[in-house]
Structure formats: C-alpha cells, structure tokens
Amino acid sequence: MKKKTTRKKGNSFLYTGAVLSGLMLFLILLGCFWTPYSPTAMDAAAKFQAPSWAHLLGTDNFGRDIFSRVLQGADASFLIALCVVGISCTLGVLIGGLCGYYGGLADLALTRLCDSITAFPAILLALVIVSLTGRGKYNVIFALSILFIPSFARVVRSEFARCRELNYVKSARLMGVSDGRILFRHILPNTFPVLLPAVTIGFNNAILSEASMSFLGIGVQPTEASLGLMLSDSQTYLQSAPWYALCTGGAVVLLILGFSLLSEGLQRRNGG
C-alpha cells in the first residue's frame, strides 16, 4: 500500500494543495472564533468602501465588512460540505461495500438506482428535493447528501468487488474470519487510496453545489453569510463595487483550488 512515488521531482500538486488548503482551513477555523467586525453589523456611513486597511476586502451594500462575511460564509460552506461528505461518504461506503462484496440482485438494483440518480444533473435534483422539503441550511445538507451517495458508492463498490477475489481475502475467509471483519478491517483500508481523492473531489463539489444553491436563493437564507449568497448579491454591483464579487469569487476559487490540487496530488502519489 505504501508505494513510493516513481517520479523524481517532488509531488508539487500535493504540496501546493496541502499548503493552500491548510491556509484556508486556518482562516475557516479563525472565522469560527474571531472576525474583525460582526459579519451582520450594518453601517450606512461605510457603504461600498473599496478594500483598505480598515476593511481588508472592502464593504458591501449595507456597509458590512466583506472580509468578516467571507470568513463566516466560508465557515458555513465548509461545515455544510463537511456534513454532506460525512453523511454521503458513510452511506456510500456502506452501500458500495455491501454491494461489491456480496453482489447479486440487491447489488444490481442498487447500482441501477445510483446510475439513475447520476443521470440527472445534480443541481436539478437538488432543486426538486428542496422544493419538496423547503429552503434552508439543513434541507440543503439533506438534498446534497442524497445526491452525493452514488459517487462514493460506485468507487467503493468496484474496489470491494476487486478485493473480494484477492488471495488475502480468500485466506481470511478460509480462516473463518467474520464477514464484517473482512469488510471493514481487511478490505476497507485498502480502498483508501481510491477513496481519499473521491472525498476531496466530493468536498469540492459540495462547496460548489452549496454556493450554487445559495446563489439561486434556496440555500442559506439572508442575514446569515454564505459565499453563494454573497456572489448572488454582488452581481448587481459588479460595476460600482467590483471588489465585492471579486473577493467573494476569489475566496471560492482558493477554497476549491486547494482541495483540487490536494486530490490531484493524492491521485498522482498513488500512480494515477
């Protein structure tokens, strides 16, 4: 499992990604405890101020500090993405693992179900689910979690199906090891090299989907900050206050870039 990289030069994707995501994670953690201003405090005298030392990223149409709102928004996006990936990954691994290991009719049915979910554009399905359950943060988490299950289930299923035929699994079975133990102690760790990039990509997709849904007005509701919601608000002021859209968009880009590079780096390290 611990195969060394065959490349001579270092894995620059992995390092850049790790540094960038580390930086973003630090800012997100910082946003949980401290922001320079209250993210919701309004100030009529400080509307549409360009970036300055007082307001690092400027202020928005209500005179709210954009840096504080970006911190809080990234925070909200990150937490939502974390929940979504956590839920969908757990369920995806369970479903994919059982399907891949046991096969049979249930496998066929669940695989087809996953295929049919993937056949719809994710945002469209999310819109349908949210229109049934109502708007808001928790409904977005619910909708996205369901949508992201197939991507994990698929990856994990093929790995389990492959490992099932390998000698170490066969010998474990012959020694009378229980199925549960084989599944989770023997095979699962061997799927990590494949699972880890899937998790980082899933994380990216979750952040983007949350931003898209908030952008459309069905995710996080106003007064709370969210990167998608801020982008949606900022488009009105693209000409008069370009820093609003640029700084918010920049935050999304950096957040995604870090995890993208990280996942690309992980894939390369595993010889992908």
Partner 1 sequence: MKYRILAVFLAAAVLMCSLCGCGGATSETPAPSDEIAPSSPAAPVNEITVGIAQDLDDSLDPYQMTAAGTREVMFNVFEGLVKPDSDGNFVCAVASDYSISDDGLTYTFPLREGVVFHNGAACTADDVLYSFETCAATSVTSALVEALSAAQVTAEGNTVTVALDAPNPDFLSYVASVYIVPKDYAEQATQPVGTGPFKYVSRSVQENVILEKNGDYYGTPASLDRVTYRIFEDNNALFTALNGGALDLVTHLTIDQVNNLTNGYTVLEGTMNLVQAMYLNNAVKPFDDQRVRQALCYAVDVPAMMELTAAGHGVRVGSSMYPAFAKYFDASLADAYPHDVEKAKALLAEAGYAGGFSFTIIAPSNYTPHVDTATVLAEQLKEVGVTAEVQLVDWNTWVSDVYGNRNFEATVCGFDASSLTASAMLARWVSDNGKNMINYNDPDYDAAYAAAQDPSLSEAEQTEQYMRCLEILSETAANVYTQDLADFVAINPALEGFTFYPLYVIDMACLHFAG
Given the rule CB under 8 A, which residues bind partner 1?
A: 40-42, 44, 47, 61-63, 135-136, 217, 221-223, 236-243, 245-246, 249-250, 253, 257, 260-261, 264
Q: How far is the CB of 254 from partner 1 (least distance, A)?
A: 10
Q: How far is the CB of 16 from partner 1 (least distance, A)?
A: 11
Residue placing its CB nearer to partner 1 in the complex, 63 or 103: 63
Residue placing its CB nearer to partner 1 in the complex, 111 or 214: 214
Q: How far is the CB of 121 from partner 1 (least distance, A)?
A: 19
What are the residues whose beta carbons fall under 8 Å from the beta carbon of 56, sequence distance 6 or more?
36, 66, 67
Residue placing its CB nearer to partner 1 in the complex, 171 or 236: 236
b/e per residue, 149-165, with b = 16+ CB within 10 A?
bbbbbbbbbebbbebbe
Residue placing its CB nearer to partner 1 in the complex, 114 or 140: 140
Q: Which long-range contacts (CB under 8 A, 24 or more apart) does 56-63 make?
A: 57/243, 57/247, 58/241, 58/243, 58/244, 58/247, 60/230, 60/233, 60/234, 60/237, 60/241, 60/244, 61/233, 61/236, 61/237, 61/241, 61/244
Q: Identity (one letter) of the amino acid at 226?
A: S
Looking at residue 270, the DSSP 8-state letter turns out to be: T
Q: How far is the CB of 160 from partner 1 (least distance, A)?
A: 26
Q: How far is the CB of 27 from partner 1 (least distance, A)?
A: 19
Residue placing its CB nearer to partner 1 in the complex, 135 or 173: 135
Residue 183 CA to residue 140 CA, distance in Å, equals: 31
